[in-house]
Structure 1
Amino acid sequence: MLDKIKELIGDVQAFTASTQNEVEAFRIKYLGSKGLLKELFAEFKNVTPDARKEFGQSLNSLKKAAEDKVAKLTDALENTTSKHSFYGDLTRPSEPIELGSRHPISLVKNKIIDVFNRIGFTVSEGPEIEDDWHNFTALNLPEYHPARDMQDTFFIEQNPDILLRTHTSSVQVRYMEEHTPPIRTISPGRVFRNEDISARAHCIFHQVEGLYIDTDVSFADLKQTLLYFTKEMFGKSKIRLRPSYFPFTEPSAEVDIYWGLETETDYKITKGTGWLEIMGCGMVDPNVLKNANIDPTKYSGYAFGMGIERIAMLLYQIPDIRMFYENDKRFLEQFKSVI
């Protein structure tokens, strides 16, 4: 009988299990109400007195070995199950990661930046909450200037000196104050105007404005830069400049590109003329240079500015500016394949 108990102890120590069901079957076999230990303890009364001590010790050793084995296997399997549920099956093929898409405004902004980077323009940024000096006065728009009415402004807490910038020209003023010519920079950013929201206008939109200041800068340099931009951005090589007015440039012009009249859409977006207005530009007014502590007798420069939404609407044929701000996934997913 002692030999049988020792053999059972060896079996218990050698037992392994990969599932909770196997452990439970093992427990029932040895420790259950009808298990082997129950039967062996029942045989204890038939053991001779001189062998009872050794027999009892062997039974206790078997019982302890069985209990320890059940506890050890149960703990190991529970930890394995817990880790599996947390990490999942690491051998399974992973789920395909759904690719996001860039916003069309970001796509166009990055493309504009890339075009001007190739000819030496750096990128400058500034605060969206501005003061009157940088947004208006330094740009040749003193208080009560009638041109201020062209830009309905959001003021901060009724403070007439603090406002949401109406253009990124304010960044150019800050850049001129901090740098000496030659200056060649573009200023992309979000701007705000108190306008009614419609399919063609919004109170929040984005601009990119460019500035070049050096000695002997002429209007011909401006025209050549704009022609390069339209070729790179739109693939169009025909532009025209119409006289216009901006307080911070003199002379000033509106820039049109010849879009063509090849399709019905061309007729629609150009109103049958084939021409599209894309930006404003001009030579920097000497007063603006003076306000930024740049000598206008030594330096001259040109500036230009365009709305990113307008460019994006032309490139992607988007009919409503409000679509840029509605966060509709069906709209944004169309730009997944656009680099």
Structure 2
Amino acid sequence: MILRKLLFTFHIRNNCTRGFSIVHPKVVQSISLLNQNFPRDDYTNVTEKIISHLGQNLHLQEGHPINIVTQRVLNYFYASFKNSRGNPQFSMYNNLCPIVTTAQNFDSLLIPTNHVSRSKSDCYYINQQHLLRAHMTSHQSELMKSGLDNFLMVGDVYRRDEIDRTHYPVFHQIDGVRLRSKNQLFPNDNDLDIFELGDYTENIGSQDKQACHTLEAVKLMEFELKSTLLGVAKSIFGEDFKYRWVDTYFPFTQPSWELEVFYEGMWMEVLGCGIMKQAILTNAGITNKVGWAFGLGVERISMCLYKIPDIRLFWSKDSGFLNQFKNQEVNAKITYRPISQYPQCINDISFWLPNDKEYCENDFYDLVRTIGGDRIEQVTLKDDFLHPKTGRRSHCYRIIYRHMERTLKQEEVNLIHKKIEKEAAKQLFVNIR
């Protein structure tokens, strides 16, 4: 999951401004986002619903739970890492443009050209060269090229995904990077080094270390990384919580780990981290340092910390939700109180998949979100049927409708459902059953 969490572009002099506009492709074959024009092509799959989230910047809205959790993470880093003059070592970037290039989102992080995270079913493409960032790590290389050794990045990221109470196509991430030189790691021992003899751009190795790194350097970096992130978790959840480190794999770090916390009877992954692939640093012009990096999802931590039951609530304008966090001290213990329990409306949709066209489930999810908006609580595949004689495949989806701020009438839901059926047949070439 973190694998799809860390990637995209950046401009230190940010020229993006709030707002968006979109022109129907039948009129003009271009799309305007944040005062920039982009040509459409076969890769274009970003929807009006997704575009409407650009520039909302929940992480910058004072008194919003996303902003509060972000501030708690920042406070920990500012307090824990200071230079000799008492100033914070980490700099913060919270207004980086969400429109990035494929080079920034993938190539700069050594993502293979055939990797699944590049697919149209996973990302929101503006065109073949540009997309909405899939993770904040996409800004990593540009920031390092600018000369930064210690920095944090926070912003909204965009990813095509399933529909339920814990998944939303737009969410927020905090990423961090720390680079260390030989003198910083081993100030009192000239016999120790951070690189093995030979080609330090080599990426081969194991979960223990990359072949180009010395074991001593990796172990020191691992200790600092895990100690730092465990400190972040304790500053948020308190001292009394269960956690564990799990070995994992990312294309951009080696070795790599996930931090899991025990929440509501199950282990929940809250962040991913690791020792940065040395080739990423080398490509950024850095040949005398090693680094560690991490990425965490703000919504997931916020839902756990404040007992928020549905991820859609973060986008609510309802004062009954927002006022529970407004004017609260950043470390205040807040437990979300449901503003109301509105009833669900449940409708099913069944259709035959096209024989001569590619069908992608995330295309259907996007279509449902575009038409139903945040009235859609969950979409689940209820039945997958393969006809034994014709070989045709049929899908049946259950769509659960529930508004977060008012009661939905079944008549209203039926109109939305009919439109979903009509557009699914038109856009996805399915045959409604």
TM-score clears 0.5: yes
Contact 1:201/1:321, CA 8 A, preserved across alignment: yes
Query: What 5-or-longer segments of structure 1 have no aligned partner?
Result: 1-99, 260-268
| Counterpart for residue 37 of structure 1 | none
Q: Does residue 278 in structure 1 map to residue 270 in structure 2? A: yes
Q: Please, which of 220, 228, 233 is the counterpart of residue 231 of structure 2?
A: 228
Q: Does 1:165 align with 2:157?
A: no
Instruction: Please point out which of 103, 124, 140 is paired with 2:93.
Output: 124
Secondary structure in 2 matching 1:310: helix
Q: How much has 1:150 moved relative to structure 2?
A: 10
Match of residue 203 from structure 1: 169
- In structure 2, the residue matched to 1:145 is 115
Correspondence for 1:193 among 154, 159, 170? 159
Alignment match of 2:75 (pick from 95, 114, 130):
114
Q: Which residue of 1 aligns with 2:251?
A: 247
Task: Judge conservation of contact 1:198–1:322 (CA < 8 Å) in 2.
Answer: no
Deviations 1:183-231 (A, max 9, x none): 1111011111122332010111000011111124621111111122122
Query: Which structure shows the higher strand fraction?
Result: 2
Alignment of 1:1-339 (within 5 A): 102-118=63-79, 119=81, 120-125=89-94, 126-149=96-119, 152-156=122-126, 159-179=127-147, 183-215=149-181, 216=185, 218-236=221-239, 239-257=243-261, 259=262, 269-270=263-264, 272-273=265-266, 275-295=267-287, 298-339=288-329
Change (3 A) 1:282 1:150: farther
Q: What is the CA distance between 1:101 and its match in structure 2?
A: 7.1
Q: Is the 8 A contact 1:101 1:332 kept in 2?
A: no
2:228 aligned counterpart, secondary structure: helix
Q: Give me the whole-angstrom Cα distance separating, in 1, the residues matched to 2:118 and 2:254.
A: 17
Deviation, 1:147, is 4.4
Query: What letter matches 1:303 in structure 2?
Result: A
- Distance in 1 (CA, whole Å) between partners of 2:231 and 2:120 is 30
C-alpha spacing 1:101/1:249, structure 2 compared with 1 (3 Å): closer
Aligned partners of 1:192 and 1:205 also within 8 Å: yes
Shift of 1:250: 0.6
Describe the shift of the 1:160–1:105 C-alpha distance in structure 2 as closer, same or farther (beyond 3 A).
Answer: same
Q: For residue 122 of structure 1, what is the amino acid of its counterpart?
A: S
Other structure's SS at 1:334 match: coil
Q: Which amino acid aligns with 2:248?
A: S
Paired with 2:306 and 2:116, the residues of 1 have a C-alpha distance of 36
2:63/2:327 contact within 8 Å kept: no
How far the C-alpha of 1:169 sits from its partner, in A, is 0.3
**How many Å separate the matches in 1 of 2:271 and 2:133?**
19
Distance 2:75 2:113 in 1: 37
Kept in 1: contact 2:64–2:326 (CA 8 A): no
Is residue 253–residue 282 contact of structure 1 (8 Å, CA) maintained in 2? yes
Q: Distance in 1 between matches of 2:128 and 2:112?
A: 13
- Larger CA deviation: 228-237 vs 245-254: 228-237
Cα distance in structure 2, aligned partners of 1:218 and 1:161? 35
What amino acid does structure 2 have at the position aligned with 1:209? Answer: D
RMSD: 2.2
What is the TM-score when the length of structure 2 is the normalising length? 0.48
Q: Structure 2: 5+ residue runs without aligned partners?
A: 1-60, 82-88, 186-219, 330-433
- Contact in 2 for aligned 1:208/1:307 (Cα 8 Å): yes
Maintained 8 Å contact 1:243/1:253: yes
In percent, how many aligned pairs have the same letter?
A: 37
1:292 positional shift = 1.4
Deviation at 1:139, TM superposition (A): 0.4
Equivalent residue number for residue 10 of structure 1: none
Q: Please tell me the residue identity of whatever aligns with 2:73.
A: I
After TM superposition, the runs of 4+ consecutive aligned structure 1 residues lying more than 4 A away are none
* Structure 1 match to 2:401: none
- For 1:287 and 1:150, how far apart are their aligned partners in 2? 27
1:286 offset after TM fit, Å?
A: 1.2
Deviations 1:10-49 (Å, cap 9, x if unpaired)? xxxxxxxxxxxxxxxxxxxxxxxxxxxxxxxxxxxxxxxx
Which has more radius of gyration?
Answer: 1
Cα distance change of structure 1 residues 144 and 276 upon mapping to structure 2, 3 Å threshold: closer
Aligned CA distance change for structure 1 residues 195 and 209 (closer, same or farther; 3 Å): same
**CA–CA distance in 1 between the matches of 2:119 and 2:239?**
34
Q: Aligned equivalents of 2:62 and 2:130: distance in 1?
A: 36
The 1:279/1:101 distance shift into structure 2, 3 A limit, reads: closer
State the distance in 2 between where 1:137 and 1:213 align: 20
Pairwise CA distance, 1:142? 3.5
Over 3 Å counting, the alpha-carbon distance change for 1:213 and 1:287 in structure 2 is: same
Q: Match of 2:312, SS?
A: helix
Q: Which amino acid aligns with 2:228?
A: T
